[in-house]
């Protein structure tokens, strides 16, 4: 492969990596859902057909769950096209990635594989091994009953134990279950108290059947809720005054916490300022770990323009990523200067508003004499258009040709029309970002996206990441 074609291939791989990190096939501020899905489907087919080994290695990167499932499905559907060595490597990557995915996504994948008629030996082995790792088969049987039945039938597997098998396929066969959760499900048909021993999604159906008051139900089921269920029920809890549903902020990841903060009204944020700020800082410290204070002088350009609203299905997601990155960078840096595009200096009370004067904010950032500038934006520089690209071109080409200042752009939004995340400058490395927790790794990945990367360098990097990923089980 010639040098030019080698670099083109590297650009293809990086383009897909950025899409797999940011794109979820949902509507964005500048693109409809249909265009998103068409672009994403094309990129998956292109990568699978041209770079199968690198396509599989993407499972080891910080890609989102939506794209991880798409990669797994396409690898299993095209098993006949892979060599023996490729299948072995893919099998290890798939097994590890499935361990990290939410179980409901994995069960949905198994259902899709059955509907598509994908039932090769490797697929059955992957389903068998994943089910064997589930910590509580009875819990899965109760919460994901139809999905578990589908997976067992598709892989021709017995249930994990006779009781679980009877529960799934012949629940009336037994008058009593020795497994507490299965017995609670049986009793919940006629005993209200048993409802509160079940997972929330199952208990909710029984609560409706027994006509239990919603506020009473939420109060009593609160100890059984997962973190995401707590977040989704906050509005109902406030309306019904269900105090037991108060979110435990210490359990939340940094980006999830930032999303929660932005979902609150400005008055609520101001009233709970100390609590929310402490929680965000604590989450940032947990995320930074041993890297705390090691990034020197950092200036951040953070986009809170109107487009950071995202869309009705990804409400305020770009702004949540920027807020989470702000708190993480504050911990990573020895000295830190945040610069929001709106000009505001109170991150906690931020909201999507105004144009995107990236160029002006980048000038302000460079004026602070930083070691590193991190730009978190969707890349739509429009006040005035193109100023950011020109500032960065002059800076890198004339004022700092030796690269003393490390400038990197992290973009939380997929640009479906151009099949990539939008770049602010051709001379500035850009990477997609979905969660602020991945920021350090994505800064490293972004430096491959400068137009000078050889495919061999990128292949070695991905191979190292894949090996570490598989061994981290």
Q: Select the more confidently predicted residue: 96 or 380.
A: 96
pLDDT at 241: 54
In Å, how far are 35, 295, 375, 393 from 410, measured between CA atoms? Answer: 22, 16, 6, 18
Task: Give the mean model confidence (pLDDT) for residues 41-51.
Answer: 92
Q: What is the pLDDT of residue 26?
A: 64
pLDDT surpasses 90 at 31: no
Query: Quick one: average pLDDT of 2-22?
Result: 79
- Predicted pLDDT of residue 246: 64
Q: What is the mean pLDDT of residues 370-395?
A: 92
pLDDT in tens, 123-171: 999 999 999 999 999 999 999 999 999 999 999 999 888 899 999 998 8
How many CA atoms does the CB half-sphere of 200 hold within 13 Å? 18
Asked if omega into 171 is within 30° of 0 (cis), the reply is: no
User: What is the full DSSP assignment across 51-112?
Assistant: -HHHHHHGGGSS--HHHHHHHHHHHHHTGGGS-HHHHHHHHHHHHHHHHHS-HHHHHHHHHH
Domains of the chain: 260-453 (3.40.50)
In this predicted structure, the answer to whether residue 237 has a pLDDT above a threshold of 60 is no
Output the pLDDT for position 1.
46
List of residues 6+ apart from 212 with CB closer than 8 A? 192, 195
**pLDDT tens digits, 183-235:** 999 999 999 999 999 999 999 999 999 999 888 888 888 888 887 777 777 65
């Amino acid at each position: 492969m010639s040098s030019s074609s080698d670099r083109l291939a590297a650009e293809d791989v990086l383009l897909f990596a950025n899409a797999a990190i940011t794109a979820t096939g949902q509507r964005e501020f500048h693109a409809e859902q249909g265009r998103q899905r068409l672009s994403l489907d094309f990129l998956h087919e292109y990568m699978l057909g041209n770079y199968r080994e690198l396509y599989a290695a993407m499972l080891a990167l910080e890609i989102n769950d939506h794209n991880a499932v798409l990669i797994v499905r396409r690898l299993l559907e095209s098993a006949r096209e892979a060599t023996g060595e490729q299948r072995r490597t893919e099998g290890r990557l798939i097994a590890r990635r499935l361990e990290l995915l939410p179980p409901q996504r994995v069960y949905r994948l198994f259902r899709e594989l059955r509907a598509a008629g994908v039932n090769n030996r490797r697929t059955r082995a992957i389903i068998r091994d994943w089910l064997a790792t589930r910590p509580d088969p009875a819990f899965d049987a109760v919460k994901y009953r139809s999905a578990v039945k589908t997976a067992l039938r598709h892989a021709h597997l017995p249930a994990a134990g006779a009781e679980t098998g009877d529960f799934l396929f012949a629940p009336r066969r037994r008058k009593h279950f020795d497994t507490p959760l299965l017995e609670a499900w049986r009793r919940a048909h006629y005993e209200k108290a048993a409802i509160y021993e079940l997972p929330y999604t199952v208990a909710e159906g029984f609560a409706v059947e027994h006509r239990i008051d919603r506020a009473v139900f939420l109060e009593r089921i609160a100890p059984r809720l997962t973190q995401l269920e707590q977040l989704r029920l906050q509005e109902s809890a406030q309306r019904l005054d269900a105090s037991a549903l108060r979110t435990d902020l210490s359990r939340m990841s940094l980006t999830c916490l930032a999303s929660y903060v932005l979902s609150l009204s400005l008055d609520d944020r101001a009233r709970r300022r100390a609590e929310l700020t402490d929680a965000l800082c604590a989450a940032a410290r947990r995320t930074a770990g041993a890297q705390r204070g090691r990034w020197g002088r950092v200036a951040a350009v953070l986009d809170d323009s109107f487009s950071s609203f995202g869309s009705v299905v990804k409400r305020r997601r770009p702004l949540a990523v920027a807020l989470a990155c702000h708190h993480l960078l504050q911990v990573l840096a020895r000295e830190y200067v945040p610069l929001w595009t709106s000009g505001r200096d109170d991150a906690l009370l931020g909201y999507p508003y105004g144009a995107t004067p990236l160029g002006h904010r980048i000038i302000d950032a460079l004026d602070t004499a930083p070691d590193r500038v991190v730009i978190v934006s969707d890349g739509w520089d429009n006040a005035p258009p193109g100023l950011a690209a020109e500032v960065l071109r002059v800076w890198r080409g004339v004022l700092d040709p030796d690269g003393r200042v490390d400038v990197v752009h992290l973009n939380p939004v997929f640009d479906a029309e151009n099949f990539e995340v939008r770049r602010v400058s051709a001379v500035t490395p850009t990477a997609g970002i979905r969660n602020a927790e991945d920021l350090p790794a994505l800064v490293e990945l972004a430096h491959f996206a400068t137009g000078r990367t050889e495919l061999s360098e990128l292949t070695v990097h991905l191979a190292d990441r894949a090996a570490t990923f598989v061994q981290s089980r």
